[in-house]
Amino acid sequence: MAILIIGAGLIGSQIARLEVERGQRPVIFDISPQPDALAAVVDLDTINLVQGDLLNPLDLVNVVRREAVTRIIHTAANPFLTEGAQKNPYASIRLNVLGTVNVLETARLFSIERVVMCSSSVLYHYLRAAQDEGSPMKEEAYPRPSTFYASTKQAAENFGLNYADAFGLDFLAVRFPAVFGPWSGRGGGGPTNRIRAMIERVLRGEESSLPARLTELVYSKDAALGAVQACHEEGLKSRVFNIGMGQIWSGQQVAEMVGEIVPGAQVKIAPDPRGAGPLPLMTQPMDLSRARSELRYQPRFLMRNAIIDYVNFYRGLGKRS
């Protein structure tokens, strides 16, 4: 059994590490692999790294056939996620929607056992409320995504569920909030890169900053854990699962933890970024009960342990350089 991981970045690298720990030799497919960054997370001698374009169906067909792939975990997304999609919607739509359909069609043609797609909690936050009193036959009875990125994620999920209904494809989606964690390469969304920049700066003894707003986060090792459990757990009743920490954090709370973990760290609270228009107000975290009951998922890294692990990762990189 070969597991194909599409996307060799922040989450895909951690999925590969977990698959190796399970005794597998995963195949990682990426249009522009970053071997040095990947090697800081997983031993390159234990994986098959393949360069290919998600938007070229033949690249997917060739790797699935050559590597005898039986299951797929699809992590690829447009650069800078929500913020990137607002600036370049066409490229985001092509990659997030058409790229996912290429995965689904390849899986259908080759009778792949299961496809797990990494989705996003933006589907809870970037929404325009339903109108028309919810009357099902009126024009605006249902909520609509309010950003390009959220629209692409909803479309990709829906196409996966359509393939499940029409062709019996075992499709699952795992929804993550903003993901942060060990990764020295390119990629990631706004919150991912703000936390990374903050950690890098405080370890150099420089002043850094974080936005004040409440944000839901998940550590990349836990995001990967949820995806791997979705890939392998049997007897599932559901197809969409929330994967997170189960908590919301303010910039001030995170700054205080960093100050305790890195003595002398200076993290000031900055104005909230505008990003993709007005920022949603997060008052509660995603409900993890379905993932806990069906996937047996339990986050291993709450914020303090996540920051400690992240700091240790960067200190380790310094020792190797």
Whole-number CA gyration radius for the chain: 19
CATH class of 2-320: alpha beta
What is the distance in angstroms between the CA of the first residue and the CA of the last residue of the chain?
36
Higher pLDDT, 225 or 273: 225
Strand partners, 269: 210
Average pLDDT taken over every residue of the chain? 93
pLDDT in tens, 303-317: 999 999 999 999 987
pLDDT, residue 321, reads: 41
Q: What is the pTM of this model?
A: 0.94
Higher pLDDT, 169 or 137: 169
Instruction: State the amino acid at position 321 in one-letter form.
Output: S
pLDDT, residue 242, reads: 98
Q: Quick check: 278 pLDDT over 90? A: no
- The residue-averaged pLDDT of 10-14 equals 98
Contacts for 200 with CB less than 8 Å, ≥ 6 apart: 314
Question: What confidence category does residue 155 fall into, taking pLDDT thresholds of 50, 70 and 90?
Answer: very high
pLDDT, residue 80, reads: 85
pLDDT in tens, 24-39: 999 999 999 999 999 9
Strand-pair category, 215-219 with 248-249: antiparallel
Residues 170, 236, 243, 284: is their CA dihedral positive or negative? positive
Higher pLDDT, 138 or 206: 206
pLDDT, residue 319, reads: 54
CA dihedral 28, 34, 37, 40 (to 10 degrees): 40
- The residue-averaged pLDDT of 173-194 equals 93
Structure tokens at 28: 């990682």
Question: What confidence category does residue 190 fall into, taking pLDDT thresholds of 50, 70 and 90?
Answer: confident
What one-character-per-residue DSSP string does 106-145 give?
Answer: HHHHTT-SEEEEEEETHHHHSEEPP-GGG-TTSTT-S-EE
Q: Where are the domains of the chain?
A: 2-320
Q: Quick check: 281 pLDDT over 90? A: no
pLDDT in tens, 206-256: 999 999 888 899 999 999 999 999 999 999 999 999 999 999 999 999 999
- The residue-averaged pLDDT of 256-282 equals 81
pLDDT in tens, 102-135: 999 999 999 999 999 999 999 998 988 888 777 8
What one-character-per-residue DSSP string does 144-209 give?
Answer: EE-SHHHHHHHHHHHHHHHHHHHH---EEEEEE-EEE-S--SS---HHHHHHHHHHHHHHTT--EE
In whole angstroms, give the CA distance from residue 20 to residue 42: 8
The 10 Å Cβ neighbour count of residue 280 is 18
Strand partners, 48: 27
